[in-house]
Amino acid sequence: MPAVVRGGRRQNSKQPAQRSSAPKSGGRGRAPRNAPATPGKVAAIGRLDLSPRAVVISIVAGVVVLAGVLATGARAERIGASFSQGVDGMAVGMGLKLDKVFIEGESAEATGAIQRAVQLDGGQAMTSIDLDAVRKRVESVGWVKSARVVRLLPNTLIVHVTEHDRLAIWQAGGRNMVIDSHGQVIRGADAGRYPNLPLVVGKGAEQAAAEVLPLIAQRPRLMARLEALVRVDERRWDLRLKDGSLIQLPATDQDAALIQLDALDQRERLLELGFARIDLRTPEEVAVRPSSGDA
């Protein structure tokens, strides 16, 4: 439910105090301990609430309570519904009402979903904004990894978001999904908008991609020719190149196998000349099958 503007009546502290017509005491001596209260003293007690000192103390106390609510981010309802209305009404009367919401760190694709998740109404009291609730709503957006909400008086709320990184496109079950470096699918992300992300295919590919992709990225010549990484039996990778070639990596020591490939490419220029398959599954042994067009 969207947050609503909270208001409340402001108490009028300017009502005139009743004046007593009782004569003032002429002496300064202390009255007997058991002497009854005179009408003049009763009237004096009634005037205490309107003395300048009491008014100043009341204002300061109100400001301290308001500052505490703003500092902790707690909603005033937790203290009491009637008190909440009074605090919110006082905040609006002091000009502390929401006018601007700034979102930082979001991508163009995620902006709309994050804006809808904020769910705040312009003009509501700044004290009525539950910062923790806003943060949780924003973090429920699939794009958002974490969020931080800051109240900037008198009228501004800043929502800073950190989005999931985009690691690769994961193809599984006939669907293409954007995943981050933890293998998590980013809900709402359109894979078609990321043609430059590498494609990983198969069961378990989303969880294992973060280990192998940095190794491939260190080899620009290989990365530029890569079509897809196919997960085989949830144990190892086949690298399919754009020209149809296949590179079979071992289940372990993938970096060592790629170093062997680098050395072979430097000697034979295999990545440029082409091949049908390179088998790197056996340690310290490389099997190369030439392409069908080779003599």
**pLDDT exceeds 50 at position 182:** yes
**Is residue 123 assigned to a domain?**
yes
Residue 75: the pLDDT is 52
Q: Are residues 192 and 148 in the same domain?
A: no
3-state secondary structure 62-130: HHHHHHHHHHHCCCHHHCCHHHHHHHHHHHHHCCCECCEEEEECCCCCCHHHHHHHHCCCCCCEHHHCC
pLDDT grade for 55, boundaries at 50, 70 and 90: very low
Q: 163, 183, 211: which is the final residue of a domain?
A: 163
Q: Are residues 86 and 109 in the same domain?
A: yes
**pLDDT exceeds 70 at position 106:** yes
Residue 85: the pLDDT is 60
Greater pLDDT, 187 or 35: 187
| Cα–Cα separations (whole angstroms), residue 219 to 43, 213, 242, 258, 263 | 91, 10, 16, 9, 12
Residue 86: the pLDDT is 64
The count of domains in the chain is 2
Q: Is the pTM of this model over 0.95?
A: no
**Is residue 16 assigned to a domain?**
no
Least confidently predicted of 86-90, 214-218, 220-224: 86-90
Residue 283: the pLDDT is 85
**Is residue 33 assigned to a domain?**
no
What 3-state DSSP class applies to 148? strand
Structural domain harbouring 119: 40-163
**Is residue 24 assigned to a domain?**
no
257-274 pLDDT, tens digit each = 999 999 999 998 989 888
Least confidently predicted of 71-75, 139-143, 245-249, 285-289: 71-75
Backbone φ and ψ for 201, nearest 5 degrees, come out as -130, 140
**Is residue 115 assigned to a domain?**
yes
Task: State the DSSP code for 10.
Answer: P
Q: Are residues 90 and 185 in the same domain?
A: no
Torsion 193-159-136-181 (CA) sign: positive
Report whether 198 contacts 206 (CB < 8 A).
no
Q: Name the region of 99 (left: φ>0; alpha: ψ -120 to 50; beta: rest).
A: alpha
N-term to C-term CA, the chain: 72
Greater pLDDT, 216 or 78: 216
107-125 pLDDT, tens digit each = 998 999 999 999 998 888 9
Q: 107, 131, 163: which is the final residue of a domain?
A: 163
**pLDDT exceeds 60 at position 276:** yes
Greater pLDDT, 100 or 75: 100
**Is residue 22 assigned to a domain?**
no
